[in-house]
Amino acid sequence: MTADRPDVTEALAEVADIARPAAADGTVASYIPALAHADPSRFGIALVDLDGTEHAIGDVDVPFPIQSISKVFSLVLAMQKAEAHDGVAEELWSRVGREPSGDPYNSLVQLERERGIPRNPMINAGALVIDDVLFGHCDDAPRATLELLELLAGDRLSVDEDVRRSEVGALHRNRALANLLADFGNLHHAVDDVLDNYVHECAIAMTARQLARAIRFLANDGIDPATGTRILSRELARRVAAIMLTCGTYDAAGEFAFNVGLPCKSGVAGGIVGIVPRHMGLCVWSPPLDRTGNSLAGRVALHELAERLDLSIV
Ligand code: GLN
């Protein structure tokens, strides 16, 4: 599609009309108590083309916690370290896999069965290992993730402290994952430090518009189109996008490939980012989730958008 196609605005309106009602069948995440206060009627779609043209509908300027969407950006930081230092890529890919999990994002069972090697960096256990790798290479890993996102969004960002504190109080399962990783020798820093970093990045608050801008460099062979800054080599940008396509929506990744056909990454606050290679970055946001932890109206919106604007890469 092209930026100035006259029917994009119309298509967005039609997609919003179809997708919004789907939220009624979903449930806002409540295992992190602060997320339970999210307004289930919030809904927004932002598309940002590589040339900077933006198309948007709904609540695209309202910040929400990015949650698991942060996992893409931690992986990007880790890939940057891998480009800069010999041996990091080998270490990283010996400690975390690249296969879809087919299990929920916070499953303990799979990690035990597979002896402490998480299936991929987009599930919680995998992100904890990535954060552990970053600890070894950044002076201030939480700050580094925030700064990367600020650079890519072109805005100052902040951490939602209520959400961060609330998640710290509800960390049982992630702590169990971190302990299991440590027990298998796949965490090299203190469990509490790695968890602090993880919770910090999950609580970064961004709007759908900012996220659509921030993810665009992956649609542009690793170069941020806003500034011309190379974030990743073309090869590594393609690899991150491949992991989003196969693993970014947890155990619904097959369904997403089938119905949407784009590299995507979701978070439990209801955001889903995606890229259309060589065209745009996009983000949809609607807090009520389906069983797999993906935004229900977001899924519908992405499907309808991909159909109407012919976005699927497959
Ligand atoms: N902070 C959330 C958790 O660890 C992130 C999960 C998600 O967004 N899927 O459970």
Give the CATH architecture of domain 8-63+205-309: 3-Layer(aba) Sandwich (3.40)
Phi–psi pair at 283, nearest 5 degrees: -150, 135
Same topology between domain 8-63+205-309 and domain 68-202: yes
Average pLDDT over residues 101-115: 94
Residue 166 bears catalytic tag: no
- Counted residue by residue, the chain has a size of 314
End-to-end CA distance of the chain: 15
**Cα 117 from Cα 99, distance rounded (Å):** 11
Considering only CA atoms, which residue is closest to atom 6 of ligand 1?
Answer: 68
236, 72 contact by CB (below 8 A): no
**Burial of 301 (C-beta count, 10 Å sphere; 0-12/13-18/19+):** buried
pLDDT, position 2: 44
Q: What is the pLDDT of residues 159-197, one digit of tens each?
A: 999 999 999 999 999 999 999 999 999 999 999 999 999
272, 298 contact by CB (below 8 A): yes
The residue from 68, 101, 107, 166 that is catalytic is 68
120, 97 contact by CB (below 8 A): yes
pLDDT, position 5: 54
Residue 250 bears catalytic tag: yes
Q: Domain ranges for the chain, please list them.
A: 8-63+205-309, 68-202
**Cα 135 from Cα 137, distance rounded (Å):** 6
pTM for this model (two decimals): 0.96
Å from CA of 183 to ligand 1 middle:
22
Q: What is the pLDDT of residues 248-263, one digit of tens each?
A: 998 899 999 999 999 9
For 68-202, the fitting CATH number among 3.40.710.10, 1.10.150.120, 3.40.50.11540, 3.50.50.60 is 3.40.710.10
Residue 31 bears catalytic tag: no
Å from CA of 117 to ligand 1 middle:
19
pLDDT, position 139: 87
Residues contacting ligand 1 via CB (< 6 Å): 67-68, 105-106, 124, 167, 174, 202, 267-268, 293
Q: Which atom of ligand 1 is nearest to the CA of 202?
A: 1
Q: Using the structure block, give the residue that is written with the tokens 């992986």.
A: 75
